[in-house]
Amino acid sequence: MNTPADKTRPLNGKVALVAGATRGAGRGIATALGEAGAIVYCTGRTTGDHRSEYDRPETIEETAELVGAAGGIGVAVAVDHLEPDQVETLTRRIDDEHGRLDVLVNDIWGGEGMYAWDTPLWEHDLAKGLRMLRLALDTHLITSHFALPLLIRRPGGLVVEMTDGTREYNDVNYRNPVFYDLAKHAVLRLAFSQGTELAPHGCTAVALTPGWLRSEMMLEAMGVSEENWRDGANPHFAAISESPRFVGRAVAALVADPEVGRRNGGSFSSGGLAQEYGFTDVDGSRPDCWRYLVEVQDAGLAPDATGYR
């Protein structure tokens, strides 16, 4: 029987790999899993000694510290997920240290700056577009290739493929440019494909999207911080944006759900799952961004989050 202490840490003993945990959604997911008591391997390319091509200050060591401060155990491991040898070494380490993997979150992206808005395929920088696809897709495939044999050892394992947009939204909306559109659609399909292969092992794969995320990069673009995000330059951002912890709590809720298998191969949003599981963002709200985008922003209505958070 669970004790009250167990209920406050429903993921005690669970081992998670958040691939791409340096910043943004990955950092929020790692922290929320720690909040629920998990052991979280936090991987990425930016450490205290090395920066990725983003050349930003956030590090995987900082993320691991946030996991620990939230109540879990954070383990920072420098990994370039385009390098199979590095990913294989990582999974062997997890196997040696725990003999199991309960959760794989494929959050690797790295594509910012690789695409140009409103630029047709024939005018787009080809090298940048192809590099973006490698960062967005090859990294996920390489990571799953090595991590899934560990995950399927026990029934109940979960793979979360992070993307931008639900299947429902992306099927009818062009996510320009072509390279970005393809990357985000492909990850949705990857969740479905992996779910089909994982089902006989009693494991599950889903695709998950945050809403308008208050990542470090987005806050800078809006000229605000997490403390005054409502003053952001875009009024829709000020109305409906969410912290990275919100989508992290969506992942934690999925992991804790004993019937998560019913979602196998599906596509979900942080806001939609919050309505079902009852978790909130750090401010106590439940922003339902994708419904807002369709019904308010895309409909050309004035910013108003009433009924959406």
Query: Which CATH number fits the domain that encloses residue 239?
Result: 3.40.50.720
User: pLDDT of 96-109, one tens digit each?
Assistant: 999 999 999 999 99
Residue 63 counted as domain residue: yes
For the residues 222-239, what does the mean pLDDT come to? Answer: 94
SS3 content of the chain, % helix, strand, coil (to 5): 50, 10, 40
Residue 306 counted as domain residue: no
pLDDT at 233 over 90: no
pLDDT number for residue 47: 95
Residue 6: pLDDT band (50, 70, 90) is low
Tell me what the pLDDT averaged over the chain comes to.
95
pLDDT number for residue 94: 98
Residue 254 counted as domain residue: yes
Rounded CA separation 240/308 (Å): 8
pLDDT at 149 over 60: yes
CB 291 within 8 A of CB 275: no
pLDDT at 236 over 80: yes
Q: Which residues contact 151 (CB under 8 A, 6 or more apart)?
A: 101, 102, 104, 157, 159, 198, 203
Residue 304 counted as domain residue: no
pLDDT at 91 over 70: yes
CB 217 within 8 A of CB 244: no
Is 0.85 topped by the overall pTM?
yes
For the residues 178-202, what does the mean pLDDT come to? Answer: 98
User: pLDDT of 242-257, one tens digit each?
Assistant: 999 999 999 999 999 9
Residue 128 counted as domain residue: yes
Residue 32 counted as domain residue: yes
The tokens describing 113, both together, are 């700056």
CB 90 within 8 A of CB 41: yes
Q: Other CB atoms closer than 10 Å to residue 12's CB: what's the count? A: 14
Residue 114 counted as domain residue: yes
pLDDT at 125 over 80: yes
Phi, psi of 307 (to 5 degrees): 90, 0
pLDDT at 2 over 70: no
pLDDT at 298 over 50: yes
pLDDT number for residue 270: 98
Task: Return the higher-pLDDT residue of 232 and 148.
Answer: 148
Give how many domains the chain has, as a whole number: 1
pLDDT number for residue 53: 87
Share of residues in the chain with pLDDT > 90 (%): 94
For the residues 279-307, what does the mean pLDDT come to? Answer: 96
Residue 35: pLDDT band (50, 70, 90) is very high
pLDDT number for residue 8: 79
pLDDT at 5 over 50: no
pLDDT number for residue 4: 37
Rounded CA separation 220/208 (Å): 24
Q: Which residues contact 221 (CB under 8 A, 6 or more apart)?
A: none
Query: In which domain, by residue range, is 47 found?
Result: 4-297
CB 147 within 8 A of CB 84: no
Residue 113 counted as domain residue: yes
